[in-house]
Amino acid sequence: MSQPILKVENVDQRFSGLHALKRVSFELIEGEILGIIGPNGAGKSTLFNAIVSLVPPVSGAIWFRDRNIVGLPTHRIAELGIAKTSQSVQVFGEMTARDNVAVAALLTAKSVSAARAAAQEELEFWGLEGHADTLAQDLPLAQRSLLELARAMMLHPQVLLVDEVMAGLNEIEVDDILDRLVRINRERGVSLMVIEHNMRALMKISSRILALDYGSVLTVGKPEEVSRHKQVIEAYLGVE
């Protein structure tokens, strides 16, 4: 059985008296896709921000392989191998799609020309090669979402945290992104944690699903088990 690549142990987060995460503990198994569900305000994005130290937790430990990364700066966590997409798609609007990705590639490339070449290759993986010279602000939402993922992958992550990149997309666009996420998992060996409100999408690609509510873990298990869990149905689906 594969070993955990990421372990979250008793992580707490507070904001001005709000207990946003309450002793959250779980493991991400190397090579898996772990879906994250929960109603708005459940603590999903707060959890991602704690993992990459955008807002470090007030207590607890986060182990990446054999290292506790709590307290490390965000850029150091990215260098170690954890990347995160933004909850709302954020691109450099007045730069081309290629240059958006090349900026991220500069962190590891030996030259600007090498960064641009790597960016072009990554754009091809995400089906954006035909938009390489298009300003990011002129791309439709679906292509901007793909661009966000392409930029994150230029950091060569071992773990990718995907925060609602499919929000606002139609079913065909969602399925396209799902297929590409599965490909980076299977072909490039990236372990994924995916926050998504579209339960159909998560059921399709997730090895397991973690359910959060009011900052606490309700359950972690196989998609079909979680979808039948009484507390998940009450919290996530709003059933009394």
**CA 85/CA 79 separation, integer angstroms:** 15
Mean per-residue pLDDT for 6-21? Answer: 95
Written as one letter, the residue type at 133 is D
Tell me how far apart the alpha carbons of residues 75 and 54 are, in angstroms, rounded to a whole number: 10
Tell me the helix, strand and coil percentages in the chain, rounded to 5: 40, 25, 35
Could you say which DSSP state residue 3 is in?
A: P
Among residues 110, 169, 111, the alpha carbon closest in space to that of 144 is found at 169
From residue 197, alpha-carbon distances to 29, 113, 134 in Å are 22, 39, 30
Confidence of residue 74 (pLDDT cuts 50, 70, 90): very high
Report whether pLDDT(87) > 90.
no
- Cα 197 to Cα 151: distance, rounded to the nearest angstrom: 23
Residue-averaged pLDDT of the chain:
93
**pTM assigned to the model:** 0.93
Q: Which fold has domain 4-90+157-236?
A: Rossmann fold (3.40.50)
- Total residues belonging to the chain: 240
Q: Where are the domains of the chain?
A: 4-90+157-236, 92-138
Q: Cβ distance 62 to 53 under 8 Å?
A: no
Output the CA angle 75-82-71, nearest 5 degrees.
55
Check residue 236 and give its pLDDT.
Answer: 64
d(CA 60, CA 1): 26
Please answer whether residues 191 and 30 qualify as being in contact, where contact means their C-beta atoms are separated by less than 8 angstroms. Answer: yes
Which residue would you say has higher pLDDT here, 89 or 138?
138
pLDDT at 199: 86
| pLDDT, tens digit (0-9, with 9 covering 90-100), for 88-131 | 777 888 999 999 999 988 877 788 888 999 999 999 999 999 99
3-state secondary structure of 49: helix
**CA-CA-CA-CA dihedral for 175, 176, 179, 183, to nearest 10:** -160
Calpha distance 80→159 (Å, rounded): 10
CB 195 within 8 A of CB 201: no
Which one-letter amino acid corresponds to residue 212? L
Question: What CA–CA distance (Å, rounded) separates 25 from 146?
Answer: 30
**Whole-number Å distance between alpha carbons of 25 and 6:** 11
